[in-house]
Each structure stands twice: as C-alpha cells, then as structure tokens.
Amino acid sequence: MTEPVSASAIDSADVVQAPGYRGRFAPSPTGHLHAGSLVAALGSWLMARAAGGEWWVRIEDLDPPREVPGAARHQLATLTSFGLVPDGPIVFQSERHGLYRRALERLLDEGKAFHCHCSRAELAQCGGVHRRCIARARRRDPSVRLRVGDDAVVAFTDALQGEQIQNVSTAVGDFVLRRADGYWAYQLAVVVDDADQGITHVVRGCDLIDSTARQILLQRALGVATPAYAHLPLVTDHAGRKLSKSEGDGAVDANNPCAALARAWRMLQQDQQAPFAARSPAEWLQAAQRCFDVSRLTNVRKTAPPIATNSSRS
C-alpha cells in the first residue's frame, strides 16, 4: 500500500492524509467533456469504487492560452448530471501557484533543477532531448528543468498495461518544470498536486503512460510517495486520432446521460449484455459497480473507433 505523504515532503503544512485508496479525475478545461474524457472519468470512478476508495476531481487549468472560457464550469456540471460526484473538494490548479513555487525553489536549492536558456531551435539540433545546455545566449526568462542523470532508467508496473520501462535520459532528457513563458509545466503540477491531495492511485488514459516515468523521477526528487498507476484504453476517432485532437471532439450529450454512460461502458470493454434497466444515472452507476470487471481492461491500449469527428457539442 502506498504510504501517506508527509507535510515536510513538499513543504506544505496542509497535506491531506490519504486513506487506503484515493483516485482522481483531472480534466483540462480546453473544451466540453468529450467521450474520451467520460471514459477516463467513468473508468477511474469504477476502479475507485471497486476498491472501496474515494474519487476526487481536479481541474488542470494552468495553460490559459489553451483554455476555453466556461469550459471548467461546463465539465463539472456535466459530471454532476452523470452522477459522477467527487468525494472531496474540487481543486483548481490555477489557485495553487504557491505550492508549485515552493516545490520548484526546493529543487533549485538542492541542485536537482536548473535554469535553462536553450531555445527550441537549439534543442532541435540534438533531437529535442536535453542533455546539456547549448544556449548561445542567456534568456531574460529561462525555463527550469529537472536534472536527469545519465542512468535514469525507470521501471514500474501498470495495473492494466503491465511492466513498463523507460530510459528517461535518452528518451526525454532534462525535462521542463516551468516554461520560459512563466507557466507551470504539467509534470511538476501533477506530481505536486497528487502528493498534496494524498492520491494513492492514478487511473487515466494510455496517452499519458509515457509521462509516468518522468513523474516518478520527480516524485523521487521531491521525496514524495509514488502512486499506483493504471492506464485505460485510449478512445480515438475514425482516423485513429485521440478525440481531443480531432476537429470535432465527440462531446457527450448531458441531456441523455444513461446512453452516454452505456457507450463509455462499452469503450471500457465491459459486458455489453450487463442488465442496465436504469431510470437515472445514479441507478446506472449502482448497476455498473456490481458488473464491473477490471480484468477486461488488461493490456488494452485503444478502443475501436467509437465516434465520428463531426459529432455535435452538447
């Protein structure tokens, strides 16, 4: 079982002590909740409930240029209409800059992170993998990167995808913690938030499995616990693209939640013959808990293309 995170680990006095299982769903407010997001939300909720654990929601709103006004509010309202109500307070990353700043300052003070003046053009010269600074000039606002050792090979067992291994030094190199434009990088924010919230299990789409090794390295650098990981099948459009990258992202219909939940259930490879004579999302979710079989998700990287890219938004 994952050990609870101590307050001193990330220099925060209000770290939440985790129970045996605490999962989370963490959408970015870049649009309406689409079918792929619903699969991630439902899958993480079902796995939390199967373990008798908690399920929390976090809005990852740290990239203003990509955010859509009102998207976070719409996403939360859609989750509620589907009966997917979090067990803890909703957290917005945009309200947590101080926590990220303290973590970054600690890494810099300990020599585990450094200011990088390399431009994108300079990084392209070495295939985009940063192993040493090659900047010809200092930048007014440099990025900050984690210092990745030459032997930084990370192995972990994914609950659904099995054994994983990545040589972070050759695959990624020194990765960004704070961007040159001043915005926090996803890797830093997600690691700090998972530790601060006491998240013990991270269940998310397979598109993020390659980020896991970087996050584990950062967890080790900060001295916080590593959650258990499970990566769900990735929902694609008919061209094989992740739905959120499509021209139309297959937004779910909040006016017909039981039908949308049933489609997500099928995308999670569950028994299509399961008896769901539900009159409300709450009844549907109760039935789903009884029928859910996590073994059907083992080693499934992608679902069959479920939705055309011209689907209308809800």
- The answer to whether the annotation marks 245 as part of a ligand binding site is yes
- The answer to whether the annotation marks 266 as part of a ligand binding site is no
Evaluate the CA torsion angle 112, 115, 120, 121 in order and state its sign.
negative
- The answer to whether the annotation marks 25 as part of a ligand binding site is yes
Task: Output the six-digit token pair for 284.
Answer: 């549907």
Q: Which residues contact 86 (CB under 8 A, 6 or more apart)?
A: 25, 55, 56, 57
- The answer to whether the annotation marks 242 as part of a ligand binding site is no
Per DSSP, the three-state class of 14 is coil
Q: What is the DSSP letter of 301?
A: -
* Rounded alpha-carbon distances, angstroms, from residue 314 to 33, 37, 98, 117, 252: 9, 14, 35, 44, 6
- The answer to whether the annotation marks 105 as part of a ligand binding site is no
- The answer to whether the annotation marks 313 as part of a ligand binding site is no
Task: Output the six-digit token pair for 92.
Answer: 């917005």
What does 238-293 look like in DSSP terms, one character per residue?
TTS-BGGGSSS--B--TTSHHHHHHHHHHHTT--TT-----SSHHHHHHHHHHH--
- The answer to whether the annotation marks 247 as part of a ligand binding site is no
Phi, psi dihedrals of residue 24, rounded to the nearest 5°? -160, 160
In the annotated binding site for ATP, the residues are 245
In the annotated binding site for L-glutamate, the residues are 24-28, 60, 186, 204
In the annotated binding site, the residues are 24-28, 60, 186, 204, 245
